[in-house]
Amino acid sequence: MNDIVKTLQFMVEIEKLKDVYRKSKPIGLDRYENSAEHSWHACISALALREHANEKVDIDKVIKMLLVHDLGEIDAGDTIVYNSNTPEIKAKEITGARRVFSILPDELRDEFMELWNEFEYGENIDAEYARAIDRIPPILQNLHSNGHTWRKHNISEDRILALNSKIKNGSQALWDCIESELKEAFSKGLLLDKE
């Protein structure tokens, strides 16, 4: 019974992810997306695109990684991916993940922390595919909002292409398609100031 109580407490705690706002807006909406919405969107995307992974993936494991990967943001908040690779931000995220998972019974805590670490470090094809999929929604959101987030944060074409080219580690086919869409949008002036 104690395990159920701990898990219910965890469920209450992770509700807070719905109040962590990201830097991009859902397509067609005039508000910022929350991290819980992003996690859901990434999971559906992973399921729909799984046949395009570089290798066969364990989709159940991929979805589990995508469901837990942002839970550290409950404490750390969201940082735009182009500015998130600093030791300070990474330390906040791992500390947050450890605290949130510590609410769980020991076995679940260890499983979720292992999934979180696996995603964070891209240790295998499942993690590389999950990381690739995690990048897709923000790209699509920017492509369908005149580059809103990219322009607001002065993110250059070079930075967008360099960071997102890592998608190919999980799915070369997906990267080929996304890269083509990005280059076409850039050539049409996506990142130019819009009045």
Per-residue exposure over 58-87, b if at least 16 CB sit within 10 Å of its own CB, e if not: ebebbbbbbbbbbbbbbbbebbebbeeeee
* Average pLDDT for 5-28: 96
Angle at CA of residue 97, ends 69 and 132, nearest 5°: 15
- For the chain, domain boundaries: 2-187
**Residues 6+ positions from 144 with CB-CB distance below 8 Å:** 27, 28
Q: Domain 2-187 belongs to what topology? A: Hypothetical protein af1432 (1.10.3210)
pLDDT at 4: 96
What is the average pLDDT score of the chain?
A: 95
pLDDT tier for residue 191 given thresholds of 50, 70 and 90: confident
Residue pair 137/49 in contact (Cβ under 8 Å)? The answer is no
Q: Is the pLDDT of residue 43 over 80?
A: yes
Residue pair 95/37 in contact (Cβ under 8 Å)? The answer is no
Distances (CA, A) of 18 to 22, 43, 71, 120, 181: 10, 16, 10, 21, 30
Q: Is the pLDDT of residue 195 over 60?
A: no
Q: Is the pLDDT of residue 193 over 80?
A: no
Amino acid at 78: D
Q: Give CA–CA dist 55/171, Å, rounded.
A: 8
* Average pLDDT for 103-115: 98
Q: Is the pLDDT of residue 84 over 80?
A: no
Comparing C-alpha atoms, which of 62, 120, 127, 123 is closest to residue 96?
A: 120
Q: If you ran DSSP here, which 8-state letter would residue 12 be given?
A: H
Q: Give CA–CA dist 70/72, Å, rounded.
A: 5
* Average pLDDT for 1-26: 95
pLDDT at 44: 98
The tens digit of pLDDT for each residue in 125-149 reads 999 999 999 999 999 999 999 999 9
pLDDT at 121: 94
